[in-house]
Every structure is written in C-alpha cells, then in structure tokens.
C-alpha cells in the first residue's frame, strides 16, 4: 500500500537529513559512527535537494533513482549496524532504527505515481 505522497516524502527526507546531522550531538556518537551519521546527513540532503519532486530544488535526479537509493540504504544501514558493531559504537540502535525507517518510507512512498481516485 503506497500512501506517502511525494510532497510528504520530501518533508520526511529533510527531517531525516536533520536527524542524521543532529544524532552525534544528541546521542553522543563519536568516531566512525559520527562520521557515518554526518555523511548520511549530507548525502540525504543533497539527494533531496536534487530530486525531481515537489520539495526538490534543482530537480535533476529522477524519482526512480531516488527510490532505488533509499531501497538500498535502509537495509545496508541495518546490516552494517548488526555486522560491524565496532564501527557503530554508541549508535548501533540508532542506525538500525534509521535503516528500518528509511526502508518503511520506501515501501509506503508513491515515488511519482498518483493514487487512483476511488
């Protein structure tokens, strides 16, 4: 069931970027976990700004590519947090929850397709 519109997805993307940027300070992430969180914040922000969706600014990345990236990033975050606990010191739970959240948003997003009228 696809229920998240492109506009709502854009809002969630900007919130996600902010959460990744704030996580090191709020959760006390350091070292590699902090670097990963900051890298994800920047990457997510750039992808959102460049995606062809209502809240995208430059609109050069197609929604299908945006969807593909999110489909891959969610599970990779979860697997990485579980498989590489030494790299995720202090942030393992955060990255698992973030990965699951990104994957659920991917599953529920319309990605450029309009819902059919009832």
Q: Which of the pair, 1 or 87, is modelled with greater confidence?
A: 1
- Tokens found for residue 6: 């492109």
Q: How many CB atoms within 10 Å of residue 48?
A: 22
Does position 117 have pLDDT exceeding 70, yes or no? Answer: no
- Tell me the sheet residues that pair with 51: 61
pLDDT at 11: 98
Burial class of residue 24, CB neighbours in 10 A (0-12, 13-18, 19+): buried
Band the pLDDT of 101: cuts 50, 70, 90: very high
Q: How many CB atoms within 10 Å of residue 41?
A: 19
Give tens-digit pLDDT for 30-49: 998 999 999 999 999 999 99
Rg (CA), the chain: 15
pLDDT at 89: 74
Domain ranges of the chain: 6-108
């Amino acid at each position: 069931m696809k229920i998240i519109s492109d506009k709502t997805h854009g809002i969630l993307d900007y919130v996600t970027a902010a959460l990744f940027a704030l996580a090191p300070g709020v959760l006390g992430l350091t070292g590699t976990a902090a670097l990963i969180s900051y890298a994800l914040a920047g990457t997510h922000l750039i992808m959102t700004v460049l995606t062809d969706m209502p809240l995208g600014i430059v609109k050069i990345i197609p929604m299908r590519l945006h969807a593909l990236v999110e489909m891959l990033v969610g599970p990779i975050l979860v697997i990485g947090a579980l498989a590489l606990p030494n790299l995720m010191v202090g942030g393992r739970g955060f990255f698992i929850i973030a990965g699951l959240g990104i994957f659920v948003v991917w599953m529920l997003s319309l990605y450029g397709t309009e819902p059919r009228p009832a």
